Amino acid sequence: MIQAFGLTSNPRKDLPPAVDDISFEARAGQVTALLGSAGAGKTTALRLMLELQQGRGITYFRGRPLHRISHPSREVGVLLGGVPGHPARTVRGHLRMLCAAAGVAVRRADEVLEVVGLVSLRDERLGTLSRGMDRRLGLACVLLSDPHTLVLDEPADGLSARETRWLHGMLRAHAAQGGTVLITAADPKEVARSADRVVSLDQGRVVADQPAADFARTRLRPRVAVRSPHAARLAALLAKEARATHRSVEVVREGGNRLSVYGGTCADVGETAFRHGILVHQLADEIGDMGPGAGAEPDDAETPEGTPGTEPSRGAVDARGTGTEQERSAPDGSPERPVADREAPSTDGTAAARPESAPAARTAVSASRAPRTLDALPSLPPPISVRSAPSPLRPLRYEIRRAAGISTGFLIAAAVLVVSAVTAVLLARIGHTPQARLLAAWPQQVPLPPAALGAGLIGALAFGDEFRHPALAADRGTVPRRLGLLVAKLVVTAATAVALAFLTVGCDAELLYLVYGRELTQVPADWFSSSASWLGLVIGCAWAGVLAAGIFRSTTAGLAAVVAVPVIVVPLVHKALEGPSARTAAGFPLRVREVLLMQWPFGGERYLVAVARVLAQPVGSALALSVTVLLCAYLFTTLRARVR
């Protein structure tokens, strides 16, 4: 159950707030719709409920606000707009990545794919999906954690009639199992067909909160839908009889052989058609202006192989009294004609209307009002059991699947290896380059070697892609600022940077050996300190990219922060350290041994001294300072967001 109290957005400049004191309830077991035109405040209300936007008011999901729910994705499934995923990621890979984030088994991805009918498209890229398939994938993402509450912003926008009916059937099935469903829509006919309760918004305020039956009766016009090969003649006769009897009847030609009669009944239209010998192919009560072709077969063009069958729309006066009456479907899926039309065929292959056509039509309407059973609803994925305590490996698994699910990181690593190898060969040919810089392919004129730049770019993408393609649920913001996720990104980028550093040196040494012989591949005498400096450089660049992109919400800003370290920070640190000093750090290793009172196993003092030497260098000091500042800024923004 959802309870929203006093939702009010922050005032805008010279404009009233988009949402002003909205309160409503969405009960379990029902589909509740927020109805309003563009600009009415529907999406803003959802964002306030989900704590994605600053404002006043509070929303309870089964008695708890969202920020007090330990696993929001397991309680609330959210879909705002399209599927927020990287276009180069596969459908199955995207769902498996979200499984790792939610802490559920990866087989859950295959279960929801089968339910939403995307099994045949599991290897397709997200960027190639059509609108209907994108909505199916969005629903799969929402159902992945088996949430109790579904919150969807205009889920049927841009879908075909068949896809819309399928989507509404899935939402109805979720509500029938005791879940809560809240959707937004701009079409009154859509909510009359699909919702149990309608909350109407206008200019940011609630103007009506009523059951769907009352909404349909007060907001939509009842009519009689007629299809006949002599539609023009029947329209003229209905209008003539209405003038003769002084009744207010409006007859509208919908195009082709379809009529919409407002102010009349099925009995009146059927009797008029019978008296004048006019054939009738459809005669049904409807609510709402369905437009031309309402009774036509849905377009199956977007339905892929394996798509579950759709169900007919609910009748205008079904068990809850809402919706729009359509032709009933026969067991084989073809439209079943009303009883009035299923008569003995005439010589031209059509059926003539008989005097009992009007009562028979009413019988057909009554039959469509029977309550829908759960057997007619689409099947949902089976419930899952998840542990209440989060595992520390879940963010790590998510980050590994996120980084390995697309080829961007691999392409960057390949480009770094090629550029480094070519640069090392050119530097060796020119000469006058120290061996340590030669193996790292680091010219004196370049602020950073290719491996460090590549590590920084990979680190910047770790958070940059999260903000550009926020796959992690919109239930907690653009990107959840959790320390566990940050630690996972730092660990994965550090491992990637170390691997890239070793591969770069190995490839450069191998190519130098092939081109110039063994002379340029000798191990330096100070290999330990050089290796520590090299690893510290690439890891520091990777972490600087991660933290900067997380703070500034941009991959470009993350890479700019990496480049700014040698260009701006290093000269400042170097200038600060090259001035006159009254004290020196001479004898530091001996004092470390005295303070520790005992020798570390395996010569641990050497490693500590090596770290101190790396930090004493201008580049090492600048990197350590930059990473520390960025980490403090990230923690500050995280705590500030939590306080809000």
Backbone angles phi, psi at 53, to 5 degrees: -140, 145
Question: What is the spatial distance between Cα 335 and Cα 282, in angstroms, rounded to a whole number?
Answer: 11
Q: Using a pLDDT cut of 70, give the percent of the chain over it.
A: 74
Is the confidence at residue 348, as pLDDT, over 80? Answer: no
pLDDT recorded at residue 291: 39
Q: Which is more confidently placed, 410 or 248?
A: 410
Q: How many domains does the chain have?
A: 3
pLDDT recorded at residue 420: 95
pLDDT recorded at residue 460: 95
Are 225 and 212 part of one and the same domain? no
Q: Is 123 exposed, middle or buried (0-12, 13-18, 19+ CB in 10 A)?
A: exposed
Q: Please, which residues have CB within 8 angstroms of residue 190's CB and are 6 or more apart in sequence?
A: 156, 164
pLDDT band at 374 (very low <50, low <70, confident <90, very high): very low
pLDDT recorded at residue 5: 95
Structural domain includes residue 376 = no
Instruction: Pick from 197-206, 623-632, 634-643 the range whose average pLDDT is largest.
Output: 197-206
Are 201 and 246 part of one and the same domain? no
Q: In the chain, what's the furthest Cα-to-Cα distance?
A: 116
Are 532 and 489 part of one and the same domain? yes
Structural domain includes residue 467 = yes
Are 484 and 596 part of one and the same domain? yes
Are 20 and 153 part of one and the same domain? yes
The residue with tokens 């704590």 is 51
pLDDT recorded at residue 617: 63
Task: Output the domain CATH number for residue 72.
Answer: 3.40.50.300
Q: Which domain holds residue 347?
A: 221-296+310-366
Structural domain includes residue 384 = no
Is the confidence at residue 29, as pLDDT, over 70? Answer: yes
Comparing 130-144, 185-199, 599-613, the range with the smallest average pLDDT is 599-613
Buried b (16+ CB within 10 A) or exposed e, 567-600: eebbeebeeeeeeeeeeeeeeeeeeeeeeeeeee
Quick: pLDDT tens for 584-619.
555 655 666 666 555 555 555 566 566 665 555 666
pLDDT recorded at residue 35: 93
Quick: pLDDT tens for 496-509.
999 999 999 999 99
546-572 average pLDDT score: 89
Are 69 and 54 part of one and the same domain? yes
308-315 average pLDDT score: 35
Structural domain includes residue 416 = yes
Are 87 and 236 part of one and the same domain? no
> What are the respective helix, strand and coil percentages of the chain, to the nearest 5?
50, 15, 35
Question: What is the spatial distance between Cα 272 and Cα 92, in angstroms, rounded to a whole number?
Answer: 58
Quick: pLDDT tens for 312-326.
333 333 333 333 333
Mean of the per-residue pLDDT values for the chain?
78
Task: Tell which of 322, 348, 366 closes a domain.
Answer: 366
Q: What's the pTM value of the predicted model, to 2 decimals? A: 0.72
pLDDT recorded at residue 611: 62
Instruction: Give 89's Cβ-side CA count (13 Å radius).
Output: 23
Buried b (16+ CB within 10 A) or exposed e, 353-370: beeebbebbbebbeebbe
Task: Tell which of 218, 238, 265 closes a domain.
Answer: 218
Structural domain includes residue 362 = yes
Residue spans of alpha helices (H) in 184-258: 188-194, 212-219, 231-244
Question: What is the spatial distance between Cα 85 and Cα 468, in angstroms, rounded to a whole number?
Answer: 9
Question: What is the spatial distance between Cα 399 and Cα 101, in angstroms, rounded to a whole number?
Answer: 8
pLDDT band at 579 (very low <50, low <70, confident <90, very high): low
Are 251 and 199 part of one and the same domain? no
Are 209 and 275 part of one and the same domain? no
Structural domain includes residue 375 = no
pLDDT band at 637 (very low <50, low <70, confident <90, very high): confident
Structural domain includes residue 317 = yes
Are 349 and 458 part of one and the same domain? no
pLDDT recorded at residue 327: 35
304-318 average pLDDT score: 36
Structural domain includes residue 381 = no
392-400 average pLDDT score: 82
pLDDT recorded at residue 247: 87
Instruction: Give 532's Cβ-side CA count (13 Å radius).
Output: 16
Quick: pLDDT tens for 253-296.
887 899 988 888 899 999 999 999 999 999 998 775 443 333 33
Is the confidence at residue 484, as pLDDT, over 60? Answer: yes
Are 208 and 234 part of one and the same domain? no
Buried b (16+ CB within 10 A) or exposed e, 481-493: beebbbebbbebb
Are 410 and 506 part of one and the same domain? yes
Characterize the bridge pairing of strands 197-202 and 31-35: parallel
Task: Tell which of 218, 247, 272 closes a domain.
Answer: 218
